[in-house]
A and B are shown apart, each in its own frame.
Chain A
Amino acid sequence: MSAYISIADISKSFAGTAGRIDALQNVNLDVPAGEFLCLVGPSGCGKSTLVFIIAGLVKASSGEVRVAGKPVVEPDPDRTMVFQGDAVFPWMTVAQNIGYGLRFGAMSKKEQGKTVSQLVDLVGLTGFADAFPKELSGGMKKRVDLARAYATNPTVLLMDEPFGALDAITKEKMQVDLMRLSVTDTGQRRTIVFVTHDLEEAIFLADRVAVMTPRPGTIEVVLDVPFPRPREASIRLSTEFQALRGQIRELLVSEEEES
């Protein structure tokens, strides 16, 4: 199992108003190519910080992240990200948002337009290409965000609680779409690191779930999710699914008690 993303001894501390905050301490984690990894942990455990470091948006205090063998020093459109908040640019139309990452690449204007209109259809926004984000619902904006992150055809997709603000039904739909879309143009599976605090979401989506400890965050355990793909929404009701959910919940509860 070769690591596509390799996280080695990452530590991060911030200068907070109440002194130094150690967000992450000696995080080690390997993510093989094509894996869907979910990061769960108590709030404030640094799971978002870890994803920002992989994206190249935040510099680690020590340690190194390598993606495809190369150390991460800055963001790269081969590693796109979907944020927790609304990051859709309100001054651009849906099509302009989705095509944003393409204008910096080698693709011709005509090809860009074609890719964008395919993505608009793929995420179910047909007919909204020229709408401004203010005309869209929260779920629709998240679809724009997803399509924009897919547009550059990245091998790595980083997601920081992307569906946290959505209602339960919209969230389920988005999860199904995400699984459907998580392959590259060449049919390869994308490597995805997905932060969530929703355990069902984590188990439903992931190949493996990494459970983090409270601050300073580190990886406590990585659990395999054995369910075959494609997964139906109904697997959430199975005994195995609920047993795994119970196991992760126990881990988080005991962490809470220790700290």
Chain B
Amino acid sequence: MKRNELGNSADAVGKEDTRKRRLITGEGAVSVITVLILVALWTALTDSYIDDLYFPSPMDTIQVVGRMEGVLVSYFLATMYRVVVGMLIGAVLGVFCGVAMSWNKWINSVLDPLIEGLRPIPAVALIPFFILWFGIGDTGKLILTAIGGFTVMVVTTLEAIKHVSPIYIMAARTLGASRLEIYRTIILPAITPTLIGGVRVTVALSFALVIASEFMGAQSGLGYMIMLARRTLQTDAILVGVIIIGITSWIVDRCVRIVGNYLTRWAPRSE
């Protein structure tokens, strides 16, 4: 009977795999059609009613990409560097502080008022200060992005630790695990699914913070490019910037999800 149980679930996995191997599923086809209709509508509208000045046509947009190729790549890399490095610093520090605060009540007493004071302030409101203190280079933007990611991850970590089922901790204690071992082998894996959710929020926030800080003062980056294009009314360049940000943000989120799914492959999922 036990054998059968596993046999059946193996069959189920097999079916899922063949489904994934098919190039396009029914649902996938519908999504592709939706996108095609939108592009067609976009072409039709920009050809007739909408002036190019307000919204560029698909052809204009593609041509702009060709024209700006070199500078586009360097701006893209500048923005990605700020997003990824800032986010990583913030997220790692956030998780570390969250764990430290749950580990020791004195650390908690010191950090809690700082974090609670920082949390209600939208990080974008700090941009003018950061430009004043650090100029328009990378430093201020990295710190700003790190602060955003830090506040999200520290709160997520603290909440997640609070909700780890006490039965796991008790079981580990009866088996001889020390406090450090309980944190390493029980609490960290138990909070990972929640942390992945926090990282996804952090990705979206980091893009927003980097673009906003590039709007207000920068010499490179996609946000800077959009601002320049706005001044010269190059709506096609603005649109290219927006599209690249959208696609990149989606790809980064996708990567986080793939890594996250691997790290939490043990977790039961409702499909």
Residues on A facing B (Cβ under 8 Å): 55-57, 74-77, 79-81, 83, 85-87, 89-92, 100-101, 104-105, 124, 127-128, 131-135, 137, 140, 148-149, 152, 158
Binding site for A on B (CB under 8 A): 2-3, 5-6, 9, 167-168, 170-178, 181, 185-186, 189-190, 192, 264-268
7 examples of A-B residue contacts, CB within 8 angstroms? A76-B176, A89-B171, A91-B266, A104-B178, A105-B176, A127-B3, A140-B2
Chain A residue with the shortest CB-CB distance to B186: A89
Q: Are A135 and B9 closer than 8 Å at their CB atoms?
A: yes
- A87 with B9: in contact, given A101-B176, A132-B266 (CB under 8 Å)? no
Q: How far is the CA of A48 from the CA of B171 in the complex (A)?
A: 15
A100 with B170: CB separation less than 8 A:
no
Q: Which residues of A contact B264 (CB under 8 A)?
A: 91
Q: Nearest Cβ distance between residue A76 and chain B, in whole angstroms? A: 7
Closest CB pairs A-B (n = 5) = A101-B175, A77-B176, A91-B189, A87-B171, A104-B176
With A87-B167, A89-B168 given, is the CB distance from A134 to B267 under 8 Å?
yes
Q: How far is the CB of B97 from chain A (nearest CB, A)?
A: 23
* A81-B6 contact given A91-B189, A132-B265, CB 8 Å threshold: no
Most chain A beta-carbon neighbours within 10 Å: one of B2, B189, B268: B2
B267 contacts A77, C-beta separation under 8 Å: no
- Cross-chain contact A77 with B174 (CB below 8 angstroms): yes
Please give me the residue from chain A that is nearest to B3 by CB atom.
A127
A124 vs B175: C-alpha distance when bound (angstroms): 22
User: Judging by beta carbons under 8 Å apart, are B268 and A134 in contact?
Assistant: yes
Q: Is the CB of A87 within 8 A of B2?
A: no
Contact in complex: A137, B266 (CB < 8 Å): no
Within 8 Å by CB of A87, from B5, B170, B177, B189, lies B170
B14 to chain A, nearest CB (A): 14
Asked whether B189 lies within 8 Å of A75 as measured between CB atoms, the reply is no
Give A79 to B176 CA distance when docked, in angstroms: 10
A-B Cβ contacts below 8 A, count: 80
Asked whether, in the complex, the Cβ of A79 is within 8 Å of the Cβ of B174, the reply is: yes
Contacts A56-B174, A81-B171, A137-B2 supplied; 11 other A-B pairs, CB < 8 Å: A79-B174, A89-B168, A89-B171, A89-B186, A89-B189, A90-B266, A91-B266, A100-B185, A131-B6, A135-B9, A152-B176
- How many whole Å from B11's CB to the nearest CB in chain A? 13
Are B171 and A83 in contact, CB atoms less than 8 angstroms apart?
yes
Q: Are A91 and B176 in contact (CB under 8 A)?
A: no
**B189 CB to closest chain A CB, in angstroms?**
4
Q: Which residue of B lies closest to A83 (CB)?
A: B167
- Choose among A55, A91, A124, A133 the residue with the greatest number of B CB atoms under 10 Å from its CB: A91
Q: What is the bound-complex CA distance between A76 and B6, given in angstroms? A: 35
Q: Which of A57, A90, A132, A137 contacts B174 (CB 8 A)?
A: A57
CA distance A200 to B269 in the complex (A): 37
Q: Which residues of B contact A80 (CB under 8 A)?
A: 174-175
Partner of A57, one of B5, B170, B265: B170
In the bound complex, what is the Cα–Cα distance between A85 and B5 (angstroms)? 22
In the complex, A81 Cα to B178 Cα: how many Å? 16
Q: How far, in whole Å, are A77 and B3 apart by their CA atoms in the complex?
A: 32
Residues from chain A with a CB closer than 8 A to the CB of B189 are 89, 91-92
Name the B residues within 8 Å of A90 (CB-CB).
Answer: 266-268
Per the bound structure, the CA–CA distance linking A128 and B3 in Å amounts to 10
**A146 shortest CB reach to chain B, Å:** 12
Contacts of A89 in B (CB 8 A): 168, 171, 186, 189
**A171–B3 CA distance with the chains assembled, in angstroms:** 19
Chain B residues lying within 8 Å of A76, measured Cβ to Cβ, are 174, 176
| Minimum distance in angstroms from A96 CB to a CB of chain B | 9
Which residues of chain B are within 8 angstroms of A124 by Cβ–Cβ distance?
2
